[in-house]
Amino acid sequence: MAGRRKGTMSTKGEDGPNNLLAARGAQRGLTKGLDRRGFPTFREGAGGARTDLEGRPLSGASRSFSGECGCAGSGRMSMSPGRRYIAAICVVLLFSAGVLTGCSVKKAETEDRLDGHAKTIENKGSDTLVNLALAWAEAYMQAHPVVRISVTGGGSGTGIAAMINGTVAIVNASREMKAEEINAAKANGIGPVEFVVAYDAIAVVVSPSNPVQRLTIQQVSDIYTGAIRNWMEVGGENRPIVMLSRESNSGTYVYFLENVIRMGNSRSKLLFSPDTLLMPSSEGISSEIRQNPNAIGYDGLGYVTADQKVLAVARNQNGPFVVPSAQTVKDGSYPIARPLYMYTAGQPAGQIKNYIDWILDGGQTLVAKLGFVPL
């Protein structure tokens, strides 16, 4: 195919007496490009294109960045004299001008995010923390109109993965980062710094129509492993128990498994019963709890709505049964409570440092309002 075209072209070139030299040159250059499926011509053209670009008001930064972007610029400057490649250069120029512009914009954004004077602070992570983080961001932005903070949820794991990939500045986490996650971040040149920003209690909830008032941690564990299958066994009606849990990417899931189902015993191999319903959101849990008298669920205290019934929980049979509240979490009497974390990508500086400092100080007044427990 390619050979045929080439033959055709050369015949034409000789046949047509009216051919302009320039046109002929351009034609050959392009033919060559097509013959080799474009790439060689492209590269040579790119080398030329870079030379031609020198005079343009593009900054040095964007040009040096072009290599990283995989744009033009193989470093070869073998553009032959004459105008053979003029057409190819045109094409490449059109292409590279667009890409280079894109590169320079990207570079500018990265710079902004990396140094302290960030315009937008990306904050992502735990769904447990997302409401609180939003409230903080709103209050802080009102006081400091220069700063933009964008808050998204998705789960602690999602946020941490995003920080490992370098796309967020602050991660909200409802669990500590695992060693492997910290190593992965360090491998990418990011050293996470931990801050405890509030406390959270996990409330065990049932439908308001369920007469059960209190459970021990042992009973909750037995329910979730499938050892107890009827509400009658824990003092309720003769109904099957439907266990609800968050999905396994939720920090709440891991915390609940380790501290309730396994009761803090690190050698325990207990798991959620396979009958446990994994709900993709807190909303999924609350909507099922609201209308299903068989259901039992757990979620962050901040997410418990008035139409769910919160159970009193005791460490053991004799222990006091405690209903979670700001007071009982703070004084440590409620057994299922945990700290909540923010991780910054590297030692915070500039606006990020100011923001974290504010959270640990002035921002604490908001914590109680959202159902969490201040430091």
Partner 1 sequence: MARPLWQSWALSLYDKILQRSLNRRGGSSEANGKPWAEFFIESSIRVLGFSTIGFVLLIFFFLLKEGLPILWEVSPGNLFSTRWYPTFDIFGTLPLILGSAYVTIAAIAIALPLGVTTAIFVREVAPDWTREILKPLIEVLAGIPSVVLGFFGMHVIAPMVRSTLNVPTGLSAFTGAVLLAYMSLPTIISVAEDALDSVPKSYRDAALAMGATSWQTIWRVIVPAARSGIATAVMLGMGRAIGETMAVMMVTGNAGRMPLSLGSLFMPVRTMTATVAAEMGEVANGSVHYHALFGIGIILFILTFIINIAAAGAIFRKRHKGGLR
What is the contact surface with partner 1 in residues (CB under 8 A)?
Answer: 5, 8, 11-12, 15-16, 18-20, 22-23, 26-27, 52, 56-58, 86-87, 89-91, 93-94, 97, 154-155, 157-158, 161, 164-165, 180-181, 184, 239-242, 247-249, 253-254, 257, 271-272, 274-280, 284, 287-288, 291-292, 294-295
Place of tokens 């960045």: 65
* Cβ-Cβ contacts under 8 Å for 313 (sequence gap 6 or more): 204, 214, 215, 216, 217, 220, 321, 322, 324, 334, 335, 336
Shorter beta-carbon distance to partner 1: residue 216 or 286 = 286
Shorter beta-carbon distance to partner 1: residue 69 or 139 = 69
Contact 285, 232 (CB under 8 A): no
C-alpha distances out from residue 332 to 70, 108, 292, Å: 56, 48, 31
Q: Look at residues 209, 195, 204, 200 and name the one whose alpha carbon lies nearest to residue 244.
A: 204
Shortest spacing between CB 263 and partner 1, in angstroms? 17
The neighbour count for residue 70, using CB atoms within 10 Å, is: 9
Shorter beta-carbon distance to partner 1: residue 159 or 371 = 159
The neighbour count for residue 172, using CB atoms within 10 Å, is: 30
Shorter beta-carbon distance to partner 1: residue 89 or 206 = 89
Shortest spacing between CB 209 and partner 1, in angstroms? 12
Shorter beta-carbon distance to partner 1: residue 77 or 94 = 94
Shortest spacing between CB 166 and partner 1, in angstroms? 13
* Backbone phi and psi for residue 226, each to the nearest 5 degrees, phi listed first: 95, 5
Q: Copy the structure tokens of residue 335.
A: 């057994």
Shortest spacing between CB 57 and partner 1, in angstroms? 6
Shortest spacing between CB 161 and partner 1, in angstroms? 6
Q: Look at residues 54, 77, 55, 52 and name the one whose alpha carbon lies nearest to residue 64.
A: 54
Shorter beta-carbon distance to partner 1: residue 206 or 313 = 206
Shortest spacing between CB 374 and partner 1, in angstroms? 29
